[in-house]
Amino acid sequence: MIDIHSHILPGLDDGAASMEESIAMARCAVTGGIKQMVATPHVKSRTYPSRELILSVLAKLQKELKKNDIPLVVMPGGEYNLEPELPGRLARGEVLTINDTGRYLLVELPPSSVPDYTATVLKELQVEGVTPVIAHPERNYVFMSDYSRLYELVADGSLVQLTAGSLTGYYYTEVTAAARAFLEQGWVHFIASDAHNRSGQLLQFEIAAKEMLQLFGDGERRRLLVSNPQRALRGESIENISRLKVSGE
Ligand SMILES: [Fe+2]
């Protein structure tokens, strides 16, 4: 399986605090069946790690993984705060897309609002040739209470990443309900751990994979945990099924 959202890089955000923690996370990921992982530290305009810093810390982690013989491939990325300045920074080459292919960008909205500029910024990113991947919308209060707000953005070309723990009940009931509803509507393109440490969220990834199999079958499990993530890593196109005509329309 492939995890496109993790905070495994040490010392850059509220994820792994040390290289030891990063290595412990990598061991947990491998035990849970993850073979490839995208390192996506939080990036905010005022306190951001630059793409150069992310790449240099990633290189150190890759060296340690090799030294410790841990079979986890870690790739570059970032979890970017959705801000009006983001398209401009992308145009200036300052942003790290998923695996640096220039095709998919993980973006995070605030937890309790959908700012007025959201649709505009997401569209501007697409005009620059990048498809936004909205990180865990099921944990945002606005999307959670009005599912149609997310549909509008997906119908407009953005993709969706669900956090594994949202599906398994790791967060609260409304989050699980929203996660399942988004899956049933076909609005979800990836499931990822959003792991910040060695415990909790990484374990949920493995449980979510089993739940996906039971609830939605092996085809859907593979699509969200293996094939779509693989396509993102390669910069290949991903079907946005919400765009398909719904029967009766
Ligand atoms: Fe995250």
CB atoms within 10 A of CB 145: 10
Cα 80 to middle of ligand 1, angstroms: 9
Burial of 107 (0-12, 13-18, 19+ CB in 10 A): buried
Q: State the pLDDT at residue 45.
A: 78
Cα 247 to middle of ligand 1, angstroms: 35
Amino acid identity, position 154: V
Cα 67 to middle of ligand 1, angstroms: 27
Decide yes or no: CATH 3.20.20.140 for domain 2-243. Answer: yes
Cα 49 to middle of ligand 1, angstroms: 14
SS3 72: coil
Cα 198 to middle of ligand 1, angstroms: 14
Cα 248 to middle of ligand 1, angstroms: 37
pLDDT tens-place string over residues 119-171: 999 999 999 999 999 999 999 999 999 999 999 999 999 999 999 999 998 88
SS3 23: helix
Cα 74 to middle of ligand 1, angstroms: 16
Cα 13 to middle of ligand 1, angstroms: 10
Domain boundaries, the chain: 2-243
Query: Which pTM does this prediction carry?
Result: 0.95
Cβ atoms of 62 and 26 within 8 Å: the answer is: no
Cα 135 to middle of ligand 1, angstroms: 7
Give the per-residue SS3 of 126-192: HHCCCEEEEECHHHCHHHHHCHHHHHHHHHCCCEEEEEHHHHHCCCCHHHHHHHHHHHHHCCCCEEE
Cα 15 to middle of ligand 1, angstroms: 9
How far from chain centre, in Å, is Cα 96? Answer: 13
Residues of the chain with pLDDT under 50: 243-249
Q: State the pLDDT at residue 239.
A: 83
Q: State the pLDDT at residue 233.
A: 98
